[in-house]
Structure 1
């Protein structure tokens, strides 16, 4: 699972991982249901949970044949929903029973200014700096308290590497355990 705030390159890194890992399949959350940003935070959470319940059944099947690469996942959901006022622990407790924990988590980190600029380059309107800061803080909390598998931290700011170089580093780290 690849996680990080908006604009860190999660989707780009996942696509490159897909190219380099044999017998792999790329998936993304939300998978089937798009979440209306105008919804109340609790309604958004319910939509994400419903989507995840459906998605996990598919992932369970895929894992029998493939290495599954997930662009985002429930850790992201926890960070973003908590930034909207729902307690992280409650989000964790509400996860569906068929939730599959990832065996590897890669956290792409970047400063908020870099992330906002990347989002603007895509032609999108970024969240406010305050929101981005809250999400980033939530990731730090989640990283320390909830992520069970070893987490690989890739600092997008200081590493200043190309995406293939970042992916090579990720693969090298994953192969060491």
Structure 2
């Protein structure tokens, strides 16, 4: 696909509790005001593999990192074929609430090679035009999860684990098509930083 016939892919990443869902919603509204058609997608999906991931995580029954990654990739292959590529071919701006960068970080923190995860995913997954890493201290993220969700932490939400996950996300944020944004402030402040980043790195989305 050439740039003239495809849309743009933006991945919003970060540890649990960083405020991704809130920022995705705000970004979608801003892009639509700029005149873009926007597809908002979330991974894991609500497909058969995504539902299995959610169930196993909630019950703290997820298998080893290799099997975790296999389930995520099966879920993503369906998402790419059914949702991501069709939207991009239509010229939409696709916003991902988590993408394969999350596998690099979460399964990478369990001992798998993040670059190998990236390579395997990019065999079938479009590379994001922009990766936004929302950065927050794991202590603050855990507090947000408990206070906002009022439910037990799942398989992916222990503080020590999130410290390792955050380190990998910060490395991902150093890539040319990425940016790290401090997510500890108020939602409007964080949104403003995201908009500024898009204007800088993808100026064609805000002429």
TM-score (norm 1): 0.87
Deviation string 1:65-88 (CA, Å, 9 cap, x unpaired) is 411111011011110011222222
2:8 maps to which residue?
none
In the TM superposition, 1:69-148 aligns within 5 A as 69-95=95-121, 97-121=123-147, 122-126=149-153, 127-144=157-174, 147-148=175-176
Distance 1:89 1:153 in 2: 19
Deviation at 1:148, TM superposition (A): 4.4
Structure 1, unaligned stretches of length 5 or more?
A: none
Runs (4+) off by over 4 Å: none
Aligned-pair RMSD on alpha carbons? 1.7
Pairing partner for 1:14 from 4, 9, 24 = 24
Deviation string 1:122-169 (CA, Å, 9 cap, x unpaired) is 12334222111111112123334xx441x2221123xx23x2332233
The answer to whether the Cα contact below 8 Å between 1:4 and 1:139 also exists between their aligned partners in 2 is yes
Distance 1:176 1:140 in 2: 19
